[in-house]
Amino acid sequence: AIQRAVEAGISAATSGDDDEEVSIVVKIGNIISSMWDAALHVPSDEQEQEEEEMEEVMLSSSKKRSKRSKSASTASKEDASVEIGEDTALGGSDFGSYLIKSYNIKKEARDDDDNTSKETIKGGSFNNALRYARSQARLLVVYIPSSPPNKKKKGNSYDDVAIRSLTSAVVSSVTQKRAIRTKGGGKGSSYGSFVLWGTKAGSSEAVLSTKRLKVKKTGSKESPTLVVVYPAQVIDSSGRPKLIPRVLSQHHCNPPPNSESMAAWLNALRKRHAKQYATMQHELQELQYFQERKEGYKESIVGDTNREKREKQEEMERLAKEKAEKERIEMLQKRRKTLRENLPEEPSAGDTSNVMTIALRFADGRTGKRRFNAEVELNELFNWVDGFFDIEREKVILSTMNGQRSFTFVGEDAEENDEETSEIMTLEEAGFGRMTGLRVTERKEDEEEEEE
């Protein structure tokens, strides 16, 4: 009862604004009288039944849209946040279905044959309708019935005519037409023209939207409200964007236009207000460019981060290799010093018993010559090459001048009797004569890796 009284009082106060000559006392008396009548008169069973029908239509429509939203799982979250005007923002309701069912509207014959998708009349709040229209770069068509549905009433009321026109295929086609014609089908060709929105007669949303629009009835009491609104965006005192409904045109609805007349009226408005369409489309395009730049910036940040990580990793690997190489060279220098100090003493020139002279020839042209005792191990030749000629003994290959035999250094971990060149033997056991010439070659790293 309180809610009915408040709504009736707001409605009486709004309608009283039309009569400027009426005194304040009379206005207050009219408001109190309206509130008193609304509080005392309980809605009829028929009205309660209509409320239940409204809820059923809204519920079924919401379920259908929920199924469609689940199937459209490819839509990204970011796109949904940009497009504020998804149907969920308008309560997820198909208000047109409620109007058709509640007012018992019969479709036109050509609408039954038309299988194209139709632009439905949205429900929900007026603020969400404004945001949705702005996000789609469309003008908003506002429809408010003059009275609640009355199934006992015979004949076509003004509300019936208006609802039949708004839900017709002709008007739906106009709402989906591209707002601005561009040569070659530019970006503006992807935007529609109108969003249809409505609310129940006498509801609080109807009172509030009427007050915000500041529209007055131009026809009879049976004439519904039919207004085309531009969702203008302004900056409020706090610096935030705010949407304000600016009325572009109001139809007198005395009588309401049929489907052809309404389509012609909307077409004329679409052509007349190309500037408003261009403003909204430009804003959406700038928003799209901003999103693309934002995504590009994110990708560049990720790319720079990955590049820095990769460069840092490469630098760490380079420093580790340099450190390992430096330590290896230091180790080789210490080992060569030890090899030079521990190399067996060279027999004197006069000592010819059991003494062999070994001559070396390197690939770079260098030569070397030294006497050894025949009982010296073959590894001492490799120590000699490593200590005095700076070639790692593990990489040295000694071969006879005819190339028939070759020898490599035998480490402590070498398996005995693996092959002839791997045996630890003396110079005499190797078959060297009193004068022996050997070629010195260095094993390549690739050959070492293959052997490993």
Give tens-digit pLDDT for 232-270.
Answer: 998 888 888 899 999 999 999 989 999 999 999 999 999
Q: Is 25 helix (H, G, I), strand (E, B) or coil?
A: helix
What is the CA angle 58-151-224, rounded to 5?
75
Measured CA to CA in angstroms, residue 115 lies from 71, 84, 118, 169, 260 at distances of 22, 28, 9, 9, 19
Q: Supply the Cα-derived Rg of the chain in whole angstroms.
A: 48
Q: What pLDDT tens digit does each residue of the chain (452 aa) get?
A: 676 666 666 666 665 444 445 567 666 776 777 676 666 555 544 444 544 554 454 455 555 545 544 544 443 333 333 333 344 445 446 899 999 998 888 866 555 555 555 778 999 999 999 999 999 999 999 999 999 988 776 667 899 999 999 999 999 999 999 887 655 445 545 689 999 999 999 999 999 999 999 988 777 888 999 999 999 998 888 888 899 999 999 999 989 999 999 999 999 999 999 999 999 999 888 988 888 888 888 999 999 999 999 999 999 999 999 999 999 999 999 999 999 999 999 998 888 788 999 999 999 999 999 999 999 999 999 999 999 999 999 999 999 999 899 999 988 654 444 444 456 899 999 999 999 999 999 987 655 555 55
Task: Locate 283 and state its tokens.
Answer: 């804003």
Count the neighbouring beta carbons within 10 Å of the beta carbon of residue 290: 11
Task: Locate 275 and state its tokens.
Answer: 């500037």
User: What was the pLDDT predicted at 60?
Assistant: 55
Please tell me the pTM assigned to this model: 0.52
Q: Is 226 helix (H, G, I), strand (E, B) or coil?
A: strand
- Between CA 227 and CA 224 the distance in angstroms is 10
Give tens-digit pLDDT for 316-364.
Answer: 999 999 999 999 999 999 999 999 999 999 998 888 788 999 999 999 9
Residue type, 237: S
Pairs from 48-52 (Cβ < 8 Å, separation ≥ 24): 50/102, 50/148, 50/149
